[in-house]
Structure 1
């Protein structure tokens, strides 16, 4: 099996009858292991909905979604919660750090909740690589936005998940911090053999990926392998001009 996650004819509908909105209209896609994939598309194209349904953060109306060989569309709520905790890592636009915890406590929180021991050597490696070694005793309010997002990246990496999902992970960051976070994710794939899938509207962010999947009106319309920023921009312009 070469994929870390896949969707088969995934449908997500909000509302019913004449007012129904089809956020996903039968999407089938695979995310390969040890690959960095970016999901792009105009506002309202279904890109965040696709990621949320595939990561067990939202339930699909129809179709199947898999993490590895586990079909998450058949799992009960508690089983999905456990799967997200034990097998997935998340990086959100809003950082999602616990304000009363230190950076170190935020990083180990998913492992602590799961009752799993922290690999101290790996923790030191990740926090050193992310430039957080001297900030581990600080609370989120004492850190810059870029540092907070690096803490969120460390939290995702330290647990060694099967796949890291990022929802606009650079959306709240300046260009320098944004670049840092994208390089962290790129290194996670290249060096740590991690699998990363992000939703982004930023062509520069997507250019760090091995593959960009484009959605429009709840459907995948095209994809680009080894993309450049210019190729991504040209593709986006094409869709917005339709």
Structure 2
């Protein structure tokens, strides 16, 4: 059996943690996952017994009306929040079974994040931002892979520049490269092009799609935009905390039709 980099199981000399596991087709999944905020009459059920699986090597978009639970689902799937009941798994690791330390290690080693606000450290260069998670973990990283990611994002001539010397699109490229650099099992992206113009958004999303098709990455993206979602292999639709529909091989027109049917 292959050794999968996850924060449970045997400890490696370099400090990362491994677990022996069979090949898993789902990079992440939720089983009867519910999230309730508050209690009694003021309780809000943000997620309602959701069952969903995100296949390895696929690009999935999550869409739905405002307040439908999109970001809550992503945060729970990524281990940034906890479900009230049910299960969330990254690979075959059930998140609720992890200690806080092991959950932190899993987020560091197995999960990548890209957010609308680029979240770059202003005093660091582009390459220092890209390698920051590995540097904080005391891990060297795969230099050849990092070079490939930098070349693929078109940042090779900008790696010594600080964020304030980069355009918004270049800063988001750095953020995407940072998410890819550690070769995580899955990347979660929350409105990653929300602050970008349409041309720059198209460039970023085209690269994300190439990362999936050419690099074998798994990406789950929350978006409200039909054009952005059309870059995905599959769109999952949420309403009132429930998955109500999904669409394969989406186009902007088909996505808009589905959203109109859902009253969004």
1:118 to partner: Cα distance: 2.5
1:231 maps to which residue?
Answer: 254
The 3-state SS of whatever aligns with 2:247 is: strand
More deviation, 81-90/113-122: 113-122
CA distance in 2, matches of 1:188, 1:154: 10
How many aligned positions are there? Answer: 241
- Is residue 200 of structure 2 the alignment partner of residue 185 of structure 1? no
CA distance in 2, matches of 1:31, 1:80: 19
The RMSD of aligned alpha carbons is 0.9
CA distance in 2, matches of 1:31, 1:192: 17
Query: What is the TM-score when the length of structure 2 is the normalising length?
Result: 0.89
Whose helix proportion is higher, 1 or 2? Answer: 1
1:23 pairs with one of 27, 46, 50: 46
1:75 to partner: Cα distance: 1.4
1:173 maps to which residue?
Answer: 196
- Is residue 116 of structure 2 the alignment partner of residue 93 of structure 1? yes
2:162 maps to which residue?
Answer: 139
2:102 maps to which residue?
Answer: 79
- Is residue 133 of structure 2 the alignment partner of residue 106 of structure 1? no
Q: For residues 175-221 of structure 1, give each alpha carbon's deviation from its aligned partner in whole angstroms, at most 9, with x where no partner exists.
A: 11111111111011110111111000010111011110000000000
1:37 pairs with one of 47, 60, 67: 60
Query: What is the TM-score when the length of structure 1 is the normalising length?
Result: 0.97
CA distance in 1, matches of 2:262, 2:216: 33
- Is residue 84 of structure 2 the alignment partner of residue 61 of structure 1? yes
2:9 maps to which residue?
Answer: none
Structure 1 residue ranges, 4+ long, deviating more than 3 angstroms after superposition: none
Structure 1 gap segments, 5+ residues each: none
Q: For residues 56-114 of structure 1, give each alpha carbon's deviation from its aligned partner in whole angstroms, at most 9, with x where no partner exists.
A: 01111111000000001221222111100011111000011111111110000111112
1:50 pairs with one of 67, 73, 88: 73
Q: For residues 161-183 of structure 1, give each alpha carbon's deviation from its aligned partner in whole angstroms, at most 9, with x where no partner exists.
A: 10111011111111111111111
- Once the two structures are superposed, the pairs formed by residues 117-136 of structure 1 within 5 Å of their partners are 117-136=140-159
CA distance in 1, matches of 2:164, 2:173: 14
CA distance in 2, matches of 1:2, 1:119: 24
Structure 2 gap segments, 5+ residues each: 1-23
